Amino acid sequence: VKSLAAILEKSGRELIIDEIDLPENLKSGQVLVKVITSGICGAQVNEINAVKGPDQFLPHLLGHEGFCEVLDVGPDVSTIRVGDNAIMHWRPGLGIQSETPSYRWKNRALNAGWVTTFNQFAIVSENRLTEILPGGVSKEILPLLGCALTTAFGVIEREAKIAPEDSVLIFGAGGVGLTMIKVLNGMKLKDICVLDITKEKLQLAKKFGATKVIQFNDKASTSNQIKQYFLPGLPRIAIDTTGDVRCIELAYELTCSDGTALLVGVPKLGHNASIYTLPLHFGKRLIGSKGGDSNPHTDIPILVEKLKTKELNFDDFPTHKYSLLKINDALADLREGRTGRMIIDFDMQ
């Protein structure tokens, strides 16, 4: 089998769109799928830019959230069958964790992890797939269940433990921030205040349910504007998705005395936040997110149901759609902060 794929050959460069060869036979726990739609998130931009240090796996494939159809299953696979629709996700779920697939490109080995979604045909480890009945939910929203939406849901429900009566402050209206705004909006929260540096993202935040948007300026004036909005109190929950230490400091300083500041964004190495720790002794909490701690096999069916009943309304997602051939344009738009939430649609030319 051959597949069209976006390949990372050198860090920091554009992806190469080319044909790759899939192995003849599936191994224990491996599943062959046809990718229908894939999400793109900041993790892939970081991977391309090798932010965690030199990339040992070049050349390799990418992508970790998708929606697919199962074409074939290898030995020992028990949780998924040929013809099923499934969500492709990066966190391990039910079933076997197989060997990673041995793709070939230009007669050399092409590396890939347990799941990749920037290739039309993919061999995926059973435990990176969760079967769903997609009826009533569009293929354009479903890939978000592989990462963005399950993360946002987990952060809100499990880590921040947000209740409908809480007031919330969110730093950053990128993919994660916008998805959280949507989920909070579905919970009918009264105060969802969102900060970002770009006007376009703040407009999207407003459209998706933010009750107040503030353009991040310097720390002092931004802090004043937030305090003004939440008068006479302070928000119960502040979530940083930016990793910018000024935002982390504000998230901590501006939560109420028994509130929670939750850090989702990770600062660059050496960027240290400075906080006064006394309030931590009196009930304030500062915690680092573990990616929502999501369990794909329990969370994905819950979220599919919420999407079907429109308790979660993602009708205006994604904000942008690209064919695989235009993936480099998509990545450039994501880097420049020009888009909200984007997908690759493999049916597009």
Question: Do 52 and 37 contact (CB within 8 A), yes or no?
Answer: no
**By C-beta, is 41 or 160 nearer to Zn ion?**
41
**By C-beta, is 115 or 262 nearer to Zn ion?**
115
Q: Least Å distance between CB 288 and Zn ion?
A: 17
Question: Do 35 and 121 contact (CB within 8 A), yes or no?
Answer: yes
Q: Least Å distance between CB 41 and Zn ion?
A: 3
Q: Which stretch binds Zn ion (CB under 5 A): 37-45, 110-118, 162-170, 305-313?
A: 37-45
Among 4, 16, 17, 43, binds Zn ion (CB under 5 A): 43
> Using CB under 5 A as the criterion, what x/- string covers residues 146-185 for binding Zn ion?
-x--------------------------------------
**Omega into 232 within 30° of 0, i.e. cis?**
yes
Q: Least Å distance between CB 117 and Zn ion?
A: 10
Q: Which stretch binds Zn ion (CB under 5 A): 39-47, 74-82, 119-127, 222-230?
A: 39-47
* Per rule CB under 5 A, count of chain residues that contact Zn ion: 3
**By C-beta, is 48 or 147 nearer to Zn ion?**
147
**By C-beta, is 49 or 215 nearer to Zn ion?**
49
Q: Least Å distance between CB 265 and Zn ion?
A: 13
**By C-beta, is 144 or 181 nearer to Zn ion?**
144
Which single residue is written with the structure tokens 């119960």?
Answer: 236
Q: Least Å distance between CB 65 and Zn ion?
A: 6
Question: Do 286 and 263 contact (CB within 8 A), yes or no?
Answer: yes
Among 41, 137, 155, 343, binds Zn ion (CB under 5 A): 41
**By C-beta, is 16 or 43 nearer to Zn ion?**
43
Query: What CA–CA distance (Å, rounded) separates 251 from 272?
Result: 14
Question: Do 102 and 34 contact (CB within 8 A), yes or no?
Answer: no
Question: Do 147 and 64 contact (CB within 8 A), yes or no?
Answer: yes
> What residues contact 205, with CB distance under 8 A and at least 6 apart?
173, 177, 178, 181, 194, 196, 213
> What residues contact 85, with CB distance under 8 A and at least 6 apart?
67, 68, 69, 70, 131, 132, 133, 134
Question: Do 46 and 52 contact (CB within 8 A), yes or no?
Answer: yes
Q: Which stretch binds Zn ion (CB under 5 A): 19-27, 35-43, 81-89, 223-231?
A: 35-43
**By C-beta, is 36 or 226 nearer to Zn ion?**
36
Q: Least Å distance between CB 151 and Zn ion?
A: 7
Q: Which pair of structure tokens corresponds to residue 61?
A: 């494939």
**By C-beta, is 42 or 267 nearer to Zn ion?**
42
Q: Least Å distance between CB 43 and Zn ion?
A: 4
Query: Is 110 near Zn ion (CB under 5 A)?
Result: no
Q: Which stretch binds Zn ion (CB under 5 A): 6-14, 141-149, 160-168, 215-223?
A: 141-149
Residue 159 — φ and ψ, nearest 5°?
-95, -50
Q: Which stretch binds Zn ion (CB under 5 A): 20-28, 43-51, 209-217, 278-286?
A: 43-51
* Terminal C-alpha separation, the chain: 20
The alpha helices in the chain, defined as continuous H runs, are: 42-48, 148-154, 175-186, 199-207, 219-230, 245-253, 296-308, 327-335
* Interface of this chain with Zn ion, residues 77 to 96, rule: CB under 5 A: none
Report which of 230, 263, 227, 261 is spatially closest to residue 244, judged by C-alpha positions. Answer: 263
Pseudo-torsion of CA 322, 16, 51, 250, nearest 10°? -10
- Interface contacts to Zn ion, rule CB under 5 A: 41, 43, 147
